[in-house]
């Protein structure tokens, strides 16, 4: 869905470095989500937001924090990146039919 963009699309960083991934949407989605995709695990929900400044934890939230200061932007922060956080990260948004999510193109993160 062209209405959801992610930046950066690729990032290489070192262990212990803080990292912030950005998700931007132009669809006025109320709900926004961050997932990680790893082999053998599918997609796993990290955090989600149900409105500006309203966020909650998902299945694999340890080591991650999020912020949503405005409807359009949902930030995912790794306070101190670890090699286990090497993954592909997807952002998604949904509206009134929240079970229908629209995904961004993904960010490939490598933590050395």
Partner 1 sequence: DQQVKQNSPSLSVQEGRISILNCDYTNSMFDYFLWYKKYPAEGPTFLISISSIKDKNEDGRFTVFLNKSAKHLSLHIVPSQPGDSAVYFCAATRGNQFYFGTGTSLTVIP
Footprint on this chain of partner 1 (rule: CB under 8 A): 1, 4, 31, 33, 35, 40-45, 48, 50, 56, 58-59, 90, 92, 98-106
Cβ proximity to partner 1: between 81 and 104 the closer is 104
Separation between Cα atoms, residue 100 and residue 103, nearest integer Å: 10
Cβ proximity to partner 1: between 3 and 16 the closer is 3
Q: How near is the Cβ of 78 to partner 1 at its closest, in Å?
A: 20
29 closest CA partner among 52, 60, 6, 59: 52
Q: How near is the Cβ of 37 to partner 1 at its closest, in Å?
A: 9
Helix, strand, coil abundance in the chain, percent, nearest 5? 5, 60, 40
Q: How near is the Cβ of 83 to partner 1 at its closest, in Å?
A: 22
Separation between Cα atoms, residue 79 and residue 110, nearest integer Å: 15
Separation between Cα atoms, residue 60 and residue 8, nearest integer Å: 22
Cβ proximity to partner 1: between 33 and 64 the closer is 33
């Amino acid at each position: 869905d062209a209405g959801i963009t992610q930046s950066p699309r690729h990032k290489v960083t070192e262990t212990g470095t803080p990292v912030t991934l950005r998700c931007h949407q132009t669809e006025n989605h109320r709900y926004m989500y961050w997932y990680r995709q790893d082999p053998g695990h599918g997609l796993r929900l990290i955090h989600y937001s149900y409105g500006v400044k309203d966020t909650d934890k998902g299945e694999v939230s340890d080591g991650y924090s999020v912020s949503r200061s405005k409807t359009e932007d949902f930030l995912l922060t790794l306070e101190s990146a670890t090699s286990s956080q090497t993954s592909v990260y997807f952002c998604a948004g949904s509206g009134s039919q929240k079970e229908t999510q629209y995904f961004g193109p993904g960010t490939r993160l490598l933590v050395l």
